[in-house]
Structures are given as structure tokens and as C-alpha cells.
Amino acid sequence: MAGAAEIEVHECRAVTDELVEAMQRLIPQLSSSNPPPGRTELEEIVASGATTLFVARHRDRIVGALTLVAFRIPTGVRTRIEDVVVDEAVRGRRVGERLSEAALETARRLGARSTDLTSRPSREAANRLYARMGFEQRESSVYRYTL
Ligand SMILES: CC(C)(COP(=O)(O)OP(=O)(O)OC[C@H]1O[C@@H](n2cnc3c(N)ncnc32)[C@H](O)[C@@H]1OP(=O)(O)O)[C@@H](O)C(=O)NCCC(=O)NCCS
């Protein structure tokens, strides 16, 4: 089993077969309604200046992923954490925390003063993780227009 020290988090700069296969395994553990990204979509994520894909590795296996989104708007640099997922086999070992810390470090480096994320209340583990890390709930309405 993974100990915290055995987990390495790094930014993906290239799309490998291993990454494509890992996302096929991980994304269904996050969303049943969105299919996992294929090579083309992953290449788009990795090539984009707006997104940074982080993966967590335990020995020879990718066991988690997180995408940081960063963009400039008139009021400053905004960053968002998206699509955080850790393989069921290693949950509860702070892999999610390590991924989030890596994202926060990059967000800071990019000049952001805060990082946003949303998580449904039913995602209990995720909500515990973010609260423990110091994310604070904001009073704001979240809207979605379905296209
Ligand atoms: C949310 C998620 C990324 C957390 O990853 P993780 O590496 O397990 O995170 P942590 O080890 O830091 O644990 C987070 C919390 O969940 C709890 N938890 C983790 N795995 C668990 C498991 N298998 N069973 C029960 N609780 C678990 C931990 O105890 C911890 O709570 P605590 O702070 O009260 O101790 C992971 O559970 C996951 O991928 N969930 C499904 C996808 C998802 O909800 N993503 C977030 C979208 S916003």
C-alpha cells in the first residue's frame, strides 16, 4: 500500500500511453456522465497555457490526477482546481492533498491570490479534504446554462 512518502506528484508535459491508460481508469471514478479523455484531448490539455495537468504516481502506476486552470481577467489572474481524482485503491493516503498542494504552488507562482473549486456536498471525502486544507466556503450562487 502507498505511504505518503512513496507518492510523487508531477506536472505532465507530454502525453504517453501510460497517461492515456491511467485516465481511462481514473476518470470513470470521478464522473459516470463524461467519457475519459483520449490522446487528442489530453494533448490539448497538456499543450494549453491555460491548463496544467498534475498526476500522482505510486511506484510504477499513476494513481491520481488534477487539472489546474489559470487565466487572466480584468481583475487579476484566476485559478481553478478541476477534475481531482484518486484511484480507489489508494484513497485515504493524502494523495488528493499532495495533488492539491502542487496545484496551489503553481497557482501562487502564476500570480493568483486565491484558487477556486466547487464540489457537490455528496462528495464527502472531497469536501473533507478541501476543508482540512484550508479552503473556505464562499457565499455565492453557482449558475449553469446547459447548452
Ligand atoms: C476526493 C478524493 C480525490 C480524495 O483523495 P484522497 O487521496 O483519498 O484524499 P485524502 O487521503 O486526503 O482523504 C480525503 C478524506 O477522505 C477520506 N477518505 C479517503 N478515502 C476514503 C475511503 N476509501 N473511504 C473513506 N474515506 C475516505 C479521508 O479519510 C479524508 O478525510 P479526513 O480528512 O476526514 O481524514 C478521492 O476520494 C476521489 O477521487 N473521490 C472521487 C472523485 C471526487 O469526488 N473528486 C473530487 C471532485 S470535487
Instruction: Write the pLDDT tens digit of every residue in 59-112.
Output: 889 999 999 999 999 999 999 999 999 999 999 999 999 999 999 999 999 999
* DSSP, res 116: B
Q: Is 129 in the pocket of ligand 1 (CB under 6 A)?
A: yes
Q: Whose CA is nearest to atom 16 of ligand 1?
A: 125
pLDDT of residue 90: 96
Q: Which of 52, 61, 53 is nearest to 7 (CA)?
A: 61
Mean pLDDT value across residues 46-70: 97
Q: Is 22 in the pocket of ligand 1 (CB under 6 A)?
A: no
* CA 74 to ligand 1 centroid distance, Å: 35
Q: Residue 31 — very low, low, confident or very high, per pLDDT cuts 50/70/90?
A: very high
CATH for 4-133? 3.40.630.30
Give this prediction's pTM. Answer: 0.95
Looking at the predicted structure, is the pLDDT value of residue 144 above 80?
yes
Count CB-CB contacts under 10 A for residue 115.
20
